[in-house]
A and B are shown apart, each in its own frame.
Chain A
Amino acid sequence: MSNEINAGSMADIAFLLLIFFLVTTQISEDKGLLVKLPPWSTEPPPDFKANSRNLYSVLVNAQNQLLVRGQAMDIEKLRENTKLFISNPRQESDKATNPADAIVSLKNDRGTKYSTYLRVYNELQAAYTELRNEMALKKYGKDFEFVTDSQKKEIRELIPLILSEAEPTAFGDEK
């Protein structure tokens, strides 16, 4: 006579539970682009005259084409071009005087595809991330995400992400 409890069915029970959880749950895909919207105000925006050399305007039309500072551009070139504009390594007179003064302005159409819009937004953010990384590497020998909080703050002040979004136009068809 043995007094042991028969644990043979334990595996079956555990399997049932496992399968139940597999069916009812989903692996959380909880990543995305973090964006801070400007507060809503009914007042017209202050009439602000940025030096036009500091303004980097990106327009996306309903055909998902890009117009950057008045010239058509491929989306593949956007990141490099934005970086050049912000950092202005050769101190050209048509690019930002200083990374802190650079303003990126994004305007889309109501008919622009969301995936194109997000890709453009992603490229613009990536340009800033890469510049911050480069500066962190140069100053502290580490990537931006690995430097201390105060060093991060310092770099953020030197290269602030200023991305303004204008009211979209409404030329294209909404689908």
Chain B
Amino acid sequence: MSKFKESAASKGAPALNTASLPDIVFMLLFFFMVVTKLRDTELKVNVRTPEASQLTKLENKSLVNFIYVGRPTVKYMQVYGTKPRIQLGDKFANMEDIPLFLEKHKLQIPEKQQTQITSSLRIDGDVTMGIVGDIKTALRKANQLKINYSAKPLQKK
């Protein structure tokens, strides 16, 4: 008995081996790097996409351009009002800017893949169809026919 006590007192509590901690954290890091994407644009409009069940995944991210529609966030309300607005890239935009925006995105893509370009429409659920219909017309005029109405998966209640 005394032998045990003696050795415990002389050694103190054994240090926790943390040699594998960096590996664990790196694993977490890589996981997050793979499943997330860099936030390249600041959202200037509020977008809460509706829910839907017939969802398709957007495959190749470089072939996708994003069009955001919603009411300006509190920060921009003073300047841009509360009516729904379009955001292209990181700027507020008008209907007339859509063709140029699509063309600029198209230029970055090899010609072979240009037919596969998809426009992802991230539209707030509370927006009325007027502005959406106008965007659809603009897209059709610009011959950008593949679109994807961004939506969340259905939440079971």
Is A bound to B?
yes
Q: Are A37 and B139 in contact (CB under 8 A)?
A: yes
Q: Which of A28, A32, A118 is packed against the most chain B CB atoms within 10 Å? A: A32
Q: Are A174 and B55 in contact (CB under 8 A)?
A: no
**Nearest-CB distance from B58 to chain A (Å)?**
4
Q: Are A33 and B52 in contact (CB under 8 A)?
A: yes
Q: Are B25 and A11 in contact (CB under 8 A)?
A: yes
Partner of A32, one of B58, B127, B129, B143: B58
Q: Are A29 and B126 in contact (CB under 8 A)?
A: no
Q: A113 to B56: give the CA distance in the assembly, Å.
A: 22
Given known contacts A32-B58, A39-B143, A39-B145, A122 and B52 CB-to-CB distance under 8 angstroms: yes
**Interface mask (A1-41 → B, CB under 8 Å = 1, otherwise 0):** 00000011011011101100110111111111111111110
* Total A-B contacts with CB atoms under 8 angstroms apart: 163
Report if A160 contacts B (CB, 8 A): no
A31: B residues at CB distance < 8 A: 55-58, 150-153
**Nearest-CB distance from B133 to chain A (Å)?**
5
Which bucket holds chain A's interface residue count? 35 or more
Q: Are A14 and B32 in contact (CB under 8 A)?
A: no
Interface residue stretch chosen among A46-54, A85-93, A103-111, A146-154: A103-111
Interface residue stretch chosen among B4-12, B34-42, B88-96, B101-109: B34-42
Q: Are B57 and A115 in contact (CB under 8 A)?
A: no
A57: B residues at CB distance < 8 A: none
Q: Are A17 and B150 in contact (CB under 8 A)?
A: no
Q: A26 to B40: give the CA distance in the assembly, Å.
A: 10
Q: Are A129 and B54 in contact (CB under 8 A)?
A: yes
A126: B residues at CB distance < 8 A: 53-54
Given known contacts A33-B55, A37-B139, A38-B140, A110 and B120 CB-to-CB distance under 8 angstroms: no
Closest to B37 in A: A28
Report if A125 contacts B (CB, 8 A): yes
Given known contacts A14-B25, A25-B37, A35-B147, A118 and B128 CB-to-CB distance under 8 angstroms: no
B55: A residues at CB distance < 8 A: 31-33
Report if A140 contacts B (CB, 8 A): no
Contacts A30-B64, A35-B148, A36-B147 known; 17 new A-B pairs at CB < 8 A: A14-B29, A18-B25, A24-B38, A27-B36, A30-B58, A30-B150, A31-B56, A31-B57, A32-B49, A32-B121, A33-B52, A33-B151, A37-B139, A113-B125, A118-B50, A129-B54, A175-B84
Contacts from A to B (Cβ < 8 Å): 7-8, 10-11, 13-15, 17-18, 21-22, 24-40, 62, 108-115, 117-119, 121-122, 125-126, 129, 168, 170, 172-175
